């Protein structure tokens, strides 16, 4: 027997974007149905951000325990791989209640734990329940892309959805893909005692500033990670424990385990979107700048909307679509103020335009302000002098920032704030940062923008000398 529910907003997907919409909408008086066929919390909590950062933390602990520094002798940390995975599980379990079905039902959301599919432009079916809604939000996220490499279909391999279930330490982990996921997992596993080889068909960390990326890659190579660029995998063979990758140019690499980290694809396959009149493109649901689909009752947020694939973007989208959903007010999604970070050691973070992008867009109007970690007193005191911050400035306003070094993911937030609010460099230069902190790097970068105008301008010196002569 089919149950029928009528509601104001029906959300498909209980990841960051879907949960943001559900929590905001129900607490402002809307009737909300939330449908999730898998895990509450989505990819980030269960397979992505949280477990990867927990595993990285275990790797960092092992690495720094082994280092001799500051007059303290390092020692063999003897990593327990299974215990590290227990830490990963504990981190997930600690955060899970915030995203749980019980919490959202307590807020007043009707939660249905079934796979959803559209049956008309105004109806979704989930199990034995049909939901009719005034508005729909598709927040189904994405999943790992597994490329059609010959042999891969028969060889055991892992993705970010399965690698955290591996409790026995790999002897030699092969990774296909040199993006952020591949690099983070490479360093985490290397520091936990695995041999690691990364094969990247193009340039590792190729979407980031090349100068900054090179600092990260050099560090990973120095730790013993083999990173092979321009190596397109043509064939996979073997079995778990004995896996071989062959590249197009004929090179061969062998290892015990294989992780595939070449990208992601939107979760749209089972939604029957054609029945809802929702158009797709190559990256997911086709949306306008208001995140609205071809069916004007339907919005898409997060990875499935085909843009930047970050958890914080999904949360941003969720907060954005609340305005049209509840109040009928326009709201446009933007990307210039969206930061991202790769949590290797050192970290690599970006917001807005890279230097290359800024030079192409602004030409001679661009000024690149720069500050080195090696000139920061806190970095010197803590032995974290590797890295830099550079800020792309046009007519006194930052249009992008790149930071590589310790805590870059936290430091980039200053520039994300500045760009989001149209702040000038003078606002950052006028900030008083506590001494000694890494945050002074951002203030020093802002100062580097003004220094030539003050200290290298002959007119400034002439005015100062005149005032010194005439003012008593």
In terms of domains, do 440 and 399 share one?
A: yes
Q: Is residue 24 part of a domain?
A: yes
In terms of domains, do 429 and 350 share one?
A: yes
Q: Is residue 190 part of a domain?
A: yes
In terms of domains, do 254 and 307 share one?
A: no
Q: Specify the CATH number for the domain of residue 356.
A: 3.30.390.30
On the CB side of 111, CA atoms within 13 Å amount to: 24
Q: Is 441 helix (H, G, I), strand (E, B) or coil?
A: helix
Q: Is residue 279 part of a domain?
A: yes
Q: Do the beta carbons of residue 231 and residue 199 sit within 8 Å?
A: yes
In terms of domains, do 301 and 162 share one?
A: no
In terms of domains, do 226 and 122 share one?
A: no
Phi, psi of 241 (to 5 degrees): 105, -25
Q: Is residue 294 part of a domain?
A: yes
Q: Is residue 384 part of a domain?
A: yes
In terms of domains, do 123 and 164 share one?
A: no
In terms of domains, do 294 and 346 share one?
A: no
In terms of domains, do 352 and 427 share one?
A: yes
pLDDT < 70: residue spans in the chain = 454-455
Rounded distance, CA 310 to CA 303, Å?
A: 7
In terms of domains, do 413 and 365 share one?
A: yes
Rounded distance, CA 302 to CA 291, Å?
A: 10
Looking at residue 30, what is its pLDDT? 98
Rounded distance, CA 271 to CA 295, Å?
A: 14
Looking at residue 105, what is its pLDDT? 98
State which residues form the domain around 118.
Answer: 3-40+100-144+265-327
In terms of domains, do 320 and 395 share one?
A: no
pLDDT tens-digit map of 57-97:
999 999 999 999 999 999 989 999 999 999 999 999 999 99
Q: Considering only CA atoms, which of 191, 164, 169 is closest in space to residue 257?
A: 169
Q: Is residue 309 part of a domain?
A: yes
Q: Is residue 419 part of a domain?
A: yes
Q: Is residue 84 part of a domain?
A: no
Q: Specify the CATH number for the domain of residue 19.
A: 3.50.50.60
- Residue 222 in tokens: 């120095």
Q: Which residues are annotated as a binding site for FAD?
A: 53, 140-142, 303
Interhelix angle 458-470/440-455, rounded to 10 degrees, is 80
In terms of domains, do 127 and 270 share one?
A: yes
- Total structural domains within the chain: 3
Q: Which residues are annotated as a binding site?
A: 53, 140-142, 177-184, 200, 263, 303
In terms of domains, do 412 and 319 share one?
A: no
């Amino acid at each position: 027997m089919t149950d029928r529910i009528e509601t104001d907003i029906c959300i498909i997907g209980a990841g960051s974007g879907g949960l943001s919409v559900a929590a905001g909408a129900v607490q402002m008086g809307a009737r909300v149905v939330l449908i999730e066929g898998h895990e509450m919390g989505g990819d980030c909590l269960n397979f992505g951000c949280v477990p990867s950062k927990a595993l990285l933390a275990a790797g960092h602990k092992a690495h720094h325990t082994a280092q001799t520094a500051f007059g303290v002798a390092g020692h063999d940390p003897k990593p327990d791989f299974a215990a590290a995975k227990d830490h990963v599980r504990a981190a997930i379990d600690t955060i899970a209640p915030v995203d749980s079905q019980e919490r959202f039902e307590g807020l007043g959301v009707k939660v249905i734990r079934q796979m959803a599919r559209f049956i008309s432009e105004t109806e979704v079916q989930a199990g034995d329940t049909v939901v009719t809604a005034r508005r729909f939000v598709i927040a189904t996220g994405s999943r790992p892309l597994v490329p059609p490499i010959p042999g891969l279909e028969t060889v055991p391999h892992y993705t970010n959805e399965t690698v955290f279930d591996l409790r026995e330490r790999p002897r030699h982990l092969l990774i296909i893909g040199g993006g952020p996921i591949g690099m983070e997992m490479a360093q985490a596993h290397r520091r936990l005692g695995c041999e690691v080889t990364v094969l990247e068909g193009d340039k590792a960390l190729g979407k980031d500033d090349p100068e900054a990326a090179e600092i990260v890659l050099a560090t990973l190579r120095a730790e013993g990670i083999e990173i092979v660029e321009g190596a397109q995998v043509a064939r996979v063979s073997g079995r778990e424990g004995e896996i071989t990758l062959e590249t197009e140019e004929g090179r061969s690499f062998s290892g015990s385990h294989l992780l595939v980290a070449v990208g992601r694809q939107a979760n749209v396959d089972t939604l029957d979107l054609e029945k809802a009149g929702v158009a797709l493109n190559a990256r997911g649901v086709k949306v306008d700048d208001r995140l609205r689909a071809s069916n004007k009752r339907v919005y898409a947020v997060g990875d499935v909307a085909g843009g930047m694939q970050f958890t914080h973007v999904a949360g941003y989208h969720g907060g954005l679509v609340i305005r049209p959903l509840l109040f009928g007010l326009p709201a446009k999604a933007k990307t210039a103020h969206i930061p991202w970070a790769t949590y290797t050691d050192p970290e690599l973070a970006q917001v807005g335009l890279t230097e290359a992008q800024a030079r192409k867009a602004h030409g001679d109007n661009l000024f690149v302000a720069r500050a080195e970690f090696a000139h920061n007193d806190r970095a010197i005191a803590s032995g974290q002098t590797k890295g830099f911050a550079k800020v792309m400035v046009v007519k006194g306003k930052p249009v992008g920032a790149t930071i590589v070094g310790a805590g870059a993911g936290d430091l980039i937030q200053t520039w994300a704030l500045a760009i989001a609010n149209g702040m000038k460099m003078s606002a950052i230069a006028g900030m008083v940062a506590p001494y000694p902190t890494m945050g002074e790097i951002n203030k020093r970068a802002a100062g580097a923008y003004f220094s030539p105008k003050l200290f290298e301008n002959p007119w400034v010196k002439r005015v100062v000398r005149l005032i010194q002569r005439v003012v008593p």
